Chains A and B, each alone.
Chain A
Amino acid sequence: MIQFSNVWKSYSRELFTASPAALQDISFSLQPGQTLGMIGANGAGKSTCIKLLMDFIRPDQGKIRLLGTTPNNYRVRNRIGYLPETANFPANLTALDMLRFTGDTCNMRAAAIRSAAEKWLCRLGLWEDRKRPLRNYSKGMQQRANFAIALLNEPELLILDEPMSGLDPIGRADILSLIGELKEQGKSILFCSHILEDVDRLVDKVLVLHKGRKLFEGPPRALATQQQRATFVEGYLSLVQEGVPND
């Protein structure tokens, strides 16, 4: 599904300052049906990895394989559902406009777009607000609208950048159960989050990034065992405080 091999990325320099590499020699993989949680503090490189996968930015070195091709093959995004960290839409559009755009670009038929839009808008509690401009949505509603857009074309792979961001406890629980359902359906999911309890609950495998370097890749329980701690959260904190790669 996803294969990162020795990827390096640095952002362009500002005048007279050298910018440190955002990613240094990162390798990891995601197999079909797996759920991978990417965790790390701010500036760890999580969003950079996701931007590389979505071809918003390109690596300086290394190779990325995505669903049997490279991310710069834009057609591959027909099989991906992407949820950005902050939901931003053109100011005057409605959820229906965005869903229709998504369906059209994914080459879906009008009837299929209508039924899928109804299904996801009802599931995410947005059906009543479907004709309201998205700018009038609360942050949580925008996040749910983004979920509906990401899931419209029944993607095989979901890339979720902070899916619980801006959600109230009820909304968060709902999204967690939705991710659980999608996992049970056999979808491959890559997501990053700051909420370690959510990661522990959902993922098969965790990738710990710190200042652009990979510190750990494996099941959450293995991290706790490796760090000789009782829980995954304690194991993560211990690993980051050490701040050194395990390999």
Chain B
Amino acid sequence: MIDTLKRISALARLVLLDGLRRHALMGLLLLAIAAQVGALFFFDFIPRDIGRASSDFILSVAWLVGFIFLFFHGVQAMALDEERKVIYSLLARPLSRGEYVLGLFSGIAALLLLLNFILSCLGIATLLLIKHLVKPVYFSQFGMASYFLSWFGIVAMELMLLAVIMLFSGLVRGNFPVLLISLSFYAICSGLPVVREALGQQAERAKGLTGLKTMLSWMTTVFPDFDRLDFKNMIASSAPLPDLSLILVNFGLTISFVGLFLWLACLVYQRRDLQ
């Protein structure tokens, strides 16, 4: 077990180092920092509820940056290893295919965590500065716990998407098909709660739609409901945090989802030919 972890961490370190030296990722980080600093100018245009609008802006920038990272770096990772035949150099070592998938996931996840850590530190400084600059009536509440909970939510969503990308990268060859399928998956995840809510309102009137409603509920097991992990509205609100048990269930589901998708990714990758 220790040897397995050592091999996974050796590959994760390689992926992390490669990512840290990539100019494109450095550019993405600089862009994200510039956008977050831009919040200092953005809040000046908001007539009221500055706290909520600013925290919304900061978290949305973070989500967008994570999204770009996943779909332009994460999606390419496995496909480019195969296209450039880097995979032959890596798997020529005593590394199983499953360890390769987990090492790649861990390396990209480490980059993602680092990116989120930098942005969350910068974000909190920006929000505290804005709070200091405006009258209390415009920014009365700032919940530190809610702020960090929101970041955990973002990281959890990103890790789920990364696990999905790993699975699709094993199933399909080439980065463009993986990008398309992963984007479709994300679109379904985002759209499903809206459809379910709309159908729920209609189902009250038409009993025949109950079956469809149940089917949509079951689809959440494959297409997770990201709204469960979205806490950004609570940062500048006086509302209490959700129940600890609810938070634990949501994050527990996230871990199970990531674990299941990674297991499937390892299983698929174990069986395929690397032509």
Chain A contacts to B: CB under 8 angstroms: 11-12, 51, 54-58, 74-78, 80, 82, 84, 86-93, 97-98, 100-102, 104-107, 133, 146, 149-150
Contacts and interface: CB of A to CB of B under 8 A. Distances in A.
Given A57-B275, A58-B273, A88-B85, A82 B92 contact: yes
Given A74-B95, A104-B10, A93 B85 contact: no
A56 B91 contact: yes
Contacts of A57: 273-275
B131 interface: no
A106 B88 contact: no
Contact of B92 (A12, A75, A84, A90): A84
A12 B18 CA distance: 32
Nearest to B86: A88
A95 B10 CA distance: 15
A51 B92 CA distance: 10
A54 B91 CA distance: 8
A92 B22 contact: yes
A12 B273 contact: yes
Contact of B18 (A76, A88, A90): A90
A106 B17 contact: no
Given A93-B17, A97-B14, A101-B11, A88 B89 contact: yes
B13 interface: yes
Interface residues of B, number: 32
A150 B93 CA distance: 9
Contacts of A97: 14, 17
Given A54-B88, A93-B18, 18 more contacts: A54-B92, A74-B99, A82-B92, A84-B88, A84-B92, A86-B85, A87-B89, A90-B14, A90-B81, A90-B86, A92-B21, A97-B14, A97-B17, A102-B93, A105-B10, A105-B93, A105-B94, A150-B92
A17 to B, nearest CB: 15
A106 B86 contact: no
A98 B274 contact: no
Contacts of B88: 54, 56, 82, 84, 88
A77 B17 contact: no
Contacts of B92: 54, 77, 80, 82, 84, 150
Contacts of A150: 92
7 contacts: A51-B274, A54-B88, A54-B92, A56-B91, A101-B10, A107-B3, A149-B89
A133 B85 contact: no
Give the 4 A-B residue pairs with the shortest CB-CB distance, closest first: A104-B10, A92-B21, A82-B92, A105-B93
A92 B17 contact: yes
B94 A77 contact: yes
Interface string B75-109: 00000010011111111111111010000000000
B7 interface: yes
A75 B91 contact: no
Nearest to A84: B88
B94 A93 contact: no
Contact of A11 (B3, B10, B90, B275): B275
A106 B9 CA distance: 13
A84 B89 contact: yes
Interface in B260-275: 273-275
Contacts of A146: 89
B6 interface: yes
Contacts of B21: 92-93, 133
A61 B21 CA distance: 44
